[in-house]
A and B are shown apart, each in its own frame.
Chain A
Amino acid sequence: MILLDAGPSDWVLFFGHFHPVLVHLPIGMLLIAVIMYFFASKKSVPYVFFWAFISAVFSCLMGWALSQSGEYDENTLFFHQWLGVAVAVLSGALAYMTAYWSQDAAMARLIKPFLFVSVALITLTGHFGGNLTHGSDYLTAYLPQPIRGWVGMEPRAEQGGANEPAIRKIANIEAALIYQDLVQPVLKQKCWSCHNAEKQKGKLRMDSPAFLMTGGEDGAIIKAGFPEESEIIKRLLLPDSDEHHMPPKGKPGFSEEEISILHWWLKEGADFKKKVKDASADAKIKTILKRYSSGESSGPYLSPVFKMSISEADESDVKDLQKLGLLVNPSAKDQPFLEVNAVNAYGLGDKELEALVNIQDQIVSLKLGKTKISDASMKQLATMPLLIFLALDHTKVSDKGLTSLEGLRYLESLNLYGTQVSDAGLASLAKIKSLKHLYVWQSKVTDAGLATFKKARPGVQVDNGFKGKWPLEIDTIRVEEKMK
């Protein structure tokens, strides 16, 4: 009894872990034997079946060893195990049949049906095995529409990688259930793949409240009201290199926010029915909740432009521009988006700029500071639909030219430092909804014009140069006194 309680020895599991590797041998050998029987010389077929039999026996033994971990769904395991045994027996039988019955016309007729049965069995065994390791929805998870509809599957939820936030936007955060709306989506994304109905690593299931409270082979994982003593939190907070850290190495981990929310739910009593408004939230939790209700992403910002798929610019066009002294480079490796910089070509004028027409659909960043361009070029800039970053500092551009830029839908940063731009120009820039940074230092913009703009577009950071008291008075003597 003591032995049983101790669970399988390390040796058993060590060999067990070779099962997924070894198992491919009998599969391959069986199939090749069948193919050889039909399309090639029948002479070697018995040998292949014989080795398929040997490898199948070993696979079965190791499979049995692996099953001792008790981490797998019993129903599926039952079918997988006995089908596997059947495959092993059948391959042995086929080795015998192909060796001794081929000459006998009556008996040879039996071989073909057995071959078909063996292919069917190995397919089924393999499929159940796959379900055990990857989950039963693994195979069809990415089945495209409309086939999904035909076979009666639900459309796949729009979802990015596992690193994407599990929770996107919750309209009425106060009425949301803490577990169901905030905790469960994260568990589902990051825990369920190993702790579900079919696979129970550490004999733990996490896919329903009841299982969550039951815990796994090391006991309960949740101690309601005491997050610090709950195994689930402890495991998340272990260093990444620790073998007990969850999720394990190579799998996407929890973000700090996700841990905070889980911690909060546990502290609030791990109540599956508790609503956000009934729990007391500190400042940190409040910020996270606010973010969930507004739906803004917590990750780094990236312009929507970079998610578009656009065509690549012609390499010869890029080379022509480089001859003008312009730096033309992709924003990132293997991306079609181009950044153009005139830091080595201050002599560039309106006429030379026309050459950009060939790559206008790809330009996302254009730095033309200190060049000789003027308002005449602004119409051309307006035809660059994906422009995000534009530097026109120290150029002859004026209010008149800026009216052309109103249509730039993705422009986020505009540098007009050291230009003749005035308040009238700001008024037309206020129409660019995507604008985030605007630089108008040493231009003709007045404080009043700036105030009007800021009122119209409070979200835009406008920099008009530093105007504060400078330098500050520093009390050096006082420090000397403190010395004593």
Chain B
Amino acid sequence: MEKIFKEAIEKEALLATRRHFLSSLGTGIGALAMGSFLGSCGTQSAVKTSSLKIPPHFGKAKSVIFLHMAGAPSQLELFDYKPVLAKFDGKECPKELIEGKKFAFIRGIPNLLGPKANFAQYGQAGHWISDHMPHLSTQADKITFLKGMYTDQFNHAPAQLLMHTGSARLGRPSMGSWVSYGLGSENENLPSFMVLASGGKNPDAGKSAWGSGFLPSIYQGVQCRSAGEPVLFIQNPAGVNTDIRKASIDAINAVNQETFQEFGDPETVARMGQYEMAYKMQSSVPEVMDISKEPAYIHELYGTKPGEEAFANNCLLARKMVEQGVRFVQLFDWGWDSHGTSKSGSVDWGLHQKCLETDRAISGLLIDLEQRGLLEETLIVWGGEFGRTPMQENREGKTQDYFGRDHHTDAFTMWLAGGGIKPGFSFGETDELGYATVNGKTSIYDLQATILHCLGIEHESFTFPFQGRNFRLTDVFGKVIQPILA
């Protein structure tokens, strides 16, 4: 008899490998630290995923809609008006500008390329906006431009990662995850961080651009599709009704609860939260994702066609999500990489097509949020992962068939509107050729710090302990852009 007991204990001990031991040890300590940070109840806090947490400061924005034009739109054809560049159109780029610089495709000495758009000033603010964005120009006074943005990554994927996770390498949590982790969701039936992609492709950085990194996986972005089933794999399988589904989830979670008590891995708790959320989403998501019930004047405003996979539909969905209390909505639209290697990739025709797809929808979004009283609480961010060169691309040393520009890190334009941001303002300036920022230099970290600030989060103290050090979105950089705050 004694032998049997002994054997049982030994078997049990064998089950707990060194890995289990280390993981329970590590997470135990981590959870303690997290508990003290959140001022709540240790590991259990991960269970209450949708419970609202508290911003450390008075934040003016309650939610964020980040409109990412994946591929990087040309600032020189949209918002950064450079008449001097037009004068030097076709001339060789001054050597001192490109000496020692590396470009993704430009080789040797390229020619300068004047702006391929017509500009005019709009609104009380006198913003320069090109004729590619006619609808947006009517909304000029809502917008604050950041014309002095710069980055240090000239390839799409790392630059997108830097923009959204604060690191060009994989593995860090995305901004939306940080925000969900810090503030939670208002709506208990919807995830706090949702992602919508259009343009036929996910961004180059892939799902890592909305991953949760080392934060509990419940905080990762939930990607929804605007055509077909909004979220894959949450509908009941054939022959399973809601009651059976609920019963099986309860059973799985009961097992998970036991596993959690045995090993103490917070990921188990996160998984339980995800099952619960998926169950709730079965009814809440189809409702929020259904734009067919929107009145005709709303479709007219955004230029939406129900059932289509389109950026315009995603804009309308973003409004619906924010209205329902979703904290962070991330939109990606692919196809802004205007190298000039094809007609659709040209900075005149191709870029204009992308603007036709987005200009009305973005402007409609601003108008719609405003008339619903949501704009003062919603922060809109528009931009790409870097800018485009004032020089025409000369891939393989040859002039391209179409007008195009290479990736550029030294200067690009982004804009913000809504919650906590001064309306009708412009910050930062580039030189006469639009090559580099001359004042109001704004790093990606500065932008991230500012977005967090608008939500009431102090980026320097908002950390998560991982592998022995406290990590934050802005790493060790970033300064809130004070002049643009309202």
Contact = CB atoms under 8 A, between A and B. Distances in A.
Contacts of B188: 344
Contacts of B170: none
Given A466-B371, A474-B356, A479-B348, A343 B325 contact: yes
B105 interface: no
Given A329-B54, A344-B188, A483-B349, A417 B300 contact: no
A272 interface: no
Interface in A105-153: none
Contacts of A302: 58
Interface in A400-417: 413, 415, 417
B456 interface: yes
A441 B373 CA distance: 9
B485 interface: yes
Interface in B469-486: 479, 482-483, 485-486
Contacts of A437: 373, 376
A413 B135 contact: no
Contact of B486 (A300, A332, A468): A300
A415 B373 contact: yes
B348 A332 contact: no
Contacts of B189: 344
B93 interface: no
A99 B52 CA distance: 68
Interface string B120-134: 000000000001001
B215 interface: no
B348 to A, nearest CB: 6
Contacts of A347: none
A20 interface: no
B346 interface: yes
Highest count of chain A CB atoms <10 Å: which of B57, B301, B348, B372 = B372
A300 B186 CA distance: 25
A318 B188 CA distance: 18
Given A301-B486, A333-B56, A327 B116 contact: no
Contacts, number: 97
A343 B134 CA distance: 35
A255 B52 CA distance: 35
Contact of B187 (A306, A331, A343, A417): A343
B71 interface: no
A479 B356 CA distance: 12
B360 to A, nearest CB: 5
Contacts of B303: 471
Contacts of A306: 58
Highest count of chain A CB atoms <10 Å: which of B52, B58, B135, B368 = B58
Highest count of chain A CB atoms <10 Å: which of B59, B301, B376, B485 = B376
B348 A476 contact: no
A452 interface: no
B420 interface: yes
Interface in A443-469: 463-466, 468
B373 A327 contact: no
A393 interface: yes
B56 A256 contact: no
Nearest to B422: A300
B372 A417 contact: yes
A282 interface: no
A441 B187 contact: no
Contact of B55 (A255, A299, A333, A341): A333
B343 to A, nearest CB: 8
B32 to A, nearest CB: 20
Given A300-B420, A343-B325, A471-B360, A417 B373 contact: yes
Given A329-B54, A466-B301, A300 B485 contact: yes
A327 B186 contact: yes
B373 A480 contact: no
B186 A393 contact: no
Residues of A contacting B: mostly:
loop
B371 A471 contact: no
Nearest to B54: A333
Contacts of B55: 331-333
Contacts of B300: 470-471
A330 B56 CA distance: 10
B367 interface: yes
B134 A417 contact: no
Nearest to A418: B372
B164 interface: no
A391 interface: yes
Contact of A474 (B52, B134, B325, B420): B134
A220 to B, nearest CB: 26
A333 B360 CA distance: 39
Interface string B345-370: 01011001000100010000001101
B256 interface: no
A210 interface: no
A476 B356 contact: yes
A331 B189 CA distance: 22
Interface string A85-104: 00000000000000000000
B399 to A, nearest CB: 15
B301 A441 contact: no
B138 interface: yes
Interface of B: 52, 54-59, 116, 131, 134-135, 138, 186-189, 300-301, 303, 324-325, 343, 346, 348-349, 352, 356, 360, 367-368, 370-373, 376, 402, 420, 456, 479, 482-483, 485-486
Q: Which 8 A-B residue pairings sit nearest by Cβ, starting from the closest?
A: A415-B373, A439-B373, A300-B485, A441-B371, A466-B367, A343-B325, A333-B56, A465-B371
Given A335-B58, A341-B186, A463-B371, 6 more contacts: A301-B486, A327-B52, A344-B188, A417-B373, A439-B372, A463-B370
16 contacts: A301-B486, A329-B52, A333-B54, A335-B58, A344-B186, A413-B376, A417-B371, A441-B371, A468-B138, A470-B300, A470-B301, A472-B138, A475-B131, A479-B348, A482-B116, A482-B348
